[in-house]
Amino acid sequence: MLNDISLFDAASWYLVFLFSTTLHEASHALAALKLGDDTAYRGGQVTLDPTPHIKREPLGMVIVPIVSFLMGGWMIGWASAPYDPDWANRYPKRAAWMAVAGPAANFLLMLTAALLIHAGMLAGWFSAPDRVSSMHLVDWNGDGLPHLAAELLGICFSLNLLLFVFNLFPLPPLDGASIPLLLLPPATAEKYADLMRSPGVRMVGLIAAWQIFGKFYPPLHHLAISLLYPSQHYVSL
C-alpha cells in the first residue's frame, strides 16, 4: 500500500482528519458547556485548535491515523473530551445531547463538502469521475487550487460520512450508545449510564461495532456516492 501513496495524499488525509476530529470533540465540549458542564471548557477543548486535543490523545490523534493510512488507505483514530460523570448522572438527557453533538458536526461537514463539490462542478472546477474510490472522489479541471480543493473536499465527504455513521452505532463507548438516555426514565437512565461506563462492556461494544461496521458501511458509502452524483451509475467503489 505504501508505494501507492504520495506525500500529497497523506498530508491531505491527515489535514482533513485533524480538522474533522477536532471539530467533533470541540462540538462535544461546547455542547457540554452550554448544558452546564464546563469540564472540557476548563481543559481548553472548546476550540478548533487541535493542540489540546492532540495533547489529550496523542496516540489516537497522531500515531494510529498515520499508521492506519499507510497500511490500509483509510485514516482512523480517536480523541476524547472530558466531562463530569456526576453532571452526566444528574442530567442524563443533557449528557445524551452532548454525545450527539460530535456526530452532528461530522454530518454537517459531510453536507458542506457535498454542497461545495456541486458548487465547484457548476463553476467548472470539478466533475464526477468515471470511477470512484476512497482515494479519489472528485475529478478536477486544471492544476493548483482546483486539484487541492477536489482532493480535500472528496476526503472530507467520505471521512465525515464514516465518522458520522460509526460514532452513531448504539454500542459503548461510541456516541450513539447515549441516545437511549433521551428516552429512558431517570432511574433506568442512571443504571444504563453506569453500564456504558464499564470497561468490559466498552471493550466488547467497540469490537462488535467494528465487526458490524465492516459489513454495514460499504453499501452505505455506495448509497452516499449515488446521492452525491445521481446521474452516475457506479457499480462499486
At residue 237, does pLDDT exceed 60?
Answer: no
Q: Which residues contact 167 (CB under 8 A, 6 or more apart)?
A: 24, 102, 103, 106, 174, 175, 176
What confidence tens digit (pLDDT) does each residue in 6-23 have?
888 889 999 999 999 999
d(CA 107, CA 170): 17
- pLDDT at residue 72, rounded to an integer: 78
- pLDDT at residue 3, rounded to an integer: 53
Peptide bond into 172 cis (omega under 30): no
Taking the domains of the chain in order of start, what are their residue ranges?
2-228
- pLDDT at residue 87, rounded to an integer: 95
For residues 93 and 72, the model is more confident at 93
What confidence tens digit (pLDDT) does each residue in 149-191 have?
999 999 999 999 999 999 999 999 999 999 999 999 988 988 8
pLDDT confidence of 4, banded at 50, 70, 90?
low
- pLDDT at residue 112, rounded to an integer: 98
What confidence tens digit (pLDDT) does each residue in 76-134 have?
889 999 999 999 989 999 999 999 999 999 999 999 999 999 999 999 999 999 988 87
